[in-house]
Amino acid sequence: MFKRVLIANRGEIAVRIIRACREMGIESVAVFSDVDRKALHVRKADYAFHIGRPAASESYLNIEKILDVARRSQAEAIHPGYGFLSENAGFARACAEAGFKFIGPSPESMEMMGSKTRARQHMKRAGVPFVPGSERGLELDAAERMAEQIGYPVMLKAAAGGGGKGMRMVASPAELHSAYEAARSEAQRSFGDNEVYIEKFIVNPRHVEMQIFGDEHGNVVYLGERECSVQRRHQKVLEESPSPIVDEEMRRRMGEIAVRVGKAANYHNAGTVEFLLDQQRNFYFLEMNTRLQVEHPVTEFVTGLDLVHLQMHVAAGEKLPFTQEDIKLRGHAIECRIYAEDPDNNYFPSPGLITRLISPSGPGIRRDSGMYEGWSVPIEYDPLLAKLVGYGENREQAINRLLRALYEYFVGGIKTNTSLFRRILKDPDFRAGNIDTGFLDRLLTKPSNETDARRPIVAAIGAAIFATAEPKATLAGGPSSAVPTNGNGTGPAPISNWRRTARAEILRER
């Protein structure tokens, strides 16, 4: 096993990997930009090295700087987390050439699956079902012919895309030209590649993905599915496992297809095969993510496996310690992505100083976080602050636990999207499992009673603050008439530990 691992990332995922390293007796090396000097991952790691200015291109995306730190810190392996360089085949190859183990798939697998058009070509040869459309990027005239052939509506997608960038739904021929140019332009800005392909748009699909894991000895297994249909602007905001719509037979068929995808790509380490489900419960290959996913905690809950530990073992050359028959799903888990954004201002980013932080806990609650009280959220990076996960014996219990935890969560000084998740978890359609990729858009058009619902909670918080605060006269040594007595008038009554603790929590001076 490695003795020292560099984490080429930041935020909650860097903290998550550092914790796994500590549990395994591995020393961790953090990297940070100017604005992340006081970030939580820097504080948690065994070693931390500055790598540049705030711009990601000068820090977290700078391969040479990261490899230089790996050399100076004497790290043996590099974990990329997700985002940044995690799916960059050039970075994986550079790590290998510099003598560092890349904790992820091979560069060849990443190159095969990194381009959606190239992946579709390989998956067609492997007999994997995918949405009708083109197998390579198209010029406008070819896109027009393909759209007529498969029928409107269609979806334009960036071949090198992800995160909803370079995607446009086209409902009619009149919209195709402008949508095509917009998709190409956004793809070029986001990925440096303007290749755009076309596929049939599935009306009201569900987005379900299958977690797979492979070792370097040819073994590949699937670890169950995740429902990812709750999305905003093609980006996931809430995920759960298992999916409310997937039964044992469908899980087996989908899992076997996902394993076929992994073997066709000669894949090892953690990967995710994504599918679209139509209204008849037919599923189609969408793409493969060649990295650890943001939503991996829900899979960890229902399988009982630690995926980051598993990544380390596989990267060290070990075989998977189980077979497909050993994998059993137990209970239900749901994850909310907590962002620094303002729901009342079109979810605009909300950077700034975190002046107060009250974190939820209790049965079945997990919080993967990169924030702390007194830390300033930077504007330069993705606004993901934390992931809040609820687990229960069944879906209803998981929902109720997570909803309870969301009401306990308080982040002062900035805005967060916790109110959005309270709306989602209380919605009758969501609770019934009636969701698709258009669910959240429909929900946001409905009037919200969240403000009214929060009034009694705000009043309760105010009452708690008032109840736990000492009268000013007491704190300032004022007249004895303002000081509570022990009942016989001989002196101040002792303050209970409950009051003292509550006052310290709520009124703590900075």
Quick check: 215 and 314 in contact, CB under 8 A? yes
Ramachandran category for residue 113: left, alpha or beta (phi over 0 → left; psi -120 to 50 → alpha): alpha
Ramachandran category for residue 86: left, alpha or beta (phi over 0 → left; psi -120 to 50 → alpha): alpha
* Catalytic (active site) residue 366: no
Which amino acid is it at 434? N
How far apart are the C-alpha atoms of 222 and 220, rounded to whole Å? 7
Buried b (16+ CB within 10 A) or exposed e, 462-475: eeeeeebeeeeebe
What are φ and ψ of residue 388, in 5° steps? -110, 125
How far apart are the C-alpha atoms of 495 and 428, rounded to whole Å? 46
DSSP type of residue 318 = P
Quick check: 312 and 210 in contact, CB under 8 A? no
Buried b (16+ CB within 10 A) or exposed e, 187-221: bbebbebbbbbbbbbbeebbbbbbbbbbbbeebbb
Handedness of CA 428, 430, 436, 442 (dihedral sign): positive
403 class by beta-carbon count within 10 Å (0-12 exposed, 13-18 middle, 19+ buried): middle
Whose CA is closest to 10, among 384, 410, 416? 384
Of 291, 337, 422, 423, which is the active-site residue? Answer: 291
| Token pair belonging to 289 | 């993510």
Helices marked H in 235-342 — which ranges? 248-264, 296-303, 307-315
Please state whether the peptide bond connecting residue 242 to the residue before it is cis, i.e. omega within 30 degrees of 0: yes
- Cα dihedral value 54, 58, 62, 65, nearest 10: -90
Whose CA is closest to 386, among 271, 309, 297? 297
What residues act catalytically? 291
